[in-house]
Structure 1
């Protein structure tokens, strides 16, 4: 009887808790989805398309590219180098750090001020469709570098985006009790209640008096202590959505490396890295970004040379386990 009461309490408490958590999670995702739409649109563009949008935004500021010998007419270098702009005699060095929802750190900013001085520029502007971390913001403040992230950039480039897909309407939320969310919550609560009932049955003493005699005292069971683990490792998430997010983060970070045009997963275990020049070999900078995620450390890396290159495709692997 006591075990059944404990199980009933566990069922009700866990059911209410899971229902509240599911509603809060779904509401949060519905709120955050429109915020990421603009950044996703920018990140879906090819590097040169993104650079063209940025140059149009710079033109609205009065800054135009300096066309040097051997450069295309649009002012965007084919090797992915930084772009030199000018306005009324003032020169500005523009650096585009491209990657899907990328997080740009301080490393890509190092040396930009010196490069600007060598090219006769007095200021540096760094643009990304993603965002900058705290260390990058601190370094930019020290070196007087202007940072433009995706959220800040979108209002400037929005007039030049040719196709802006409309946000699909949110699915209506029914007030009936047959929603998958509550059903899953109370189904999970039923499993928890059943497990608690079995554990309580095993732990509580059984009182069965015979012939009017008091029940015997419960036997004390000794349980050998579980040996402490000798080492700890980072747990790999089991949620498919979390795993996919980690895969995207790894590809986004690698897309910001010098010499990398873009990076994407061609399969569950193969990362396809498009190089922006034949001489680029980003493997030393690429592996630490990939090894931050244990489940991705042994992935196969396909280094794809630029279009028209006669160099063969190369395959690398950061770890072999």
Structure 2
């Protein structure tokens, strides 16, 4: 009975902890990343309309022209008799930095606005928020916007986004339990193999000549990775891109990975990147191995965004 107890504990521990992480932390991250990509796929005017609804719930209303924005891409808002400006940047690769803040602050001063908002589906550069607060500018990045826009989406659209993420999470959970079962079986077999022989039989055994070790075979050269043929079906190409993004997201130093464009993979880092390990996942795909990789540092990191490429076009 004691021989089967440890494998069962290992099976339940691995499967339970991994499932809790996948359906908790990882699922929320995937829903957020998928939602941001869905917003990025909208027409920019539709995205502006959703942002204006967020502002309306905060008590701000658009003034002036009925157009979404003026020639400078700015929207005037009014609240309590005071005028503010709103800037929207549509795109997941956009990064709000000090230069952008300085330009927007100049617009606020020229128009006599008391403050403003800068929104983007991308991210905010390190040490930029403190500069924005001094200029009375509030920054809303992709994660913050998704939390506020998600309740405004059409229920069918939101269900479609969440359903796809949930289905992928369930597949990962099933895979985790299979791997947990394999680990439990391996421990059970190893524990039986390592059981000591009875003392009596060891004493009765006579020493025998140690058989000569077989001649060592020369090591074979490792075969290069196979390159899968490039399919012509657009659905198959999209499936291969999703597989690469899912594979990159499993690396221990990666938080998540999403395609911002067909040729740019945004890798959100959780630690120091390993270029060789990252490129190895793209190598089998001829149409993806030369993709641009945007290494996005953690939100509180001072490390700048980096762009690398495993192969030249």
TM normalised by structure 1 equals 0.49
The higher radius of gyration belongs to 1
TM normalised by structure 2 equals 0.50
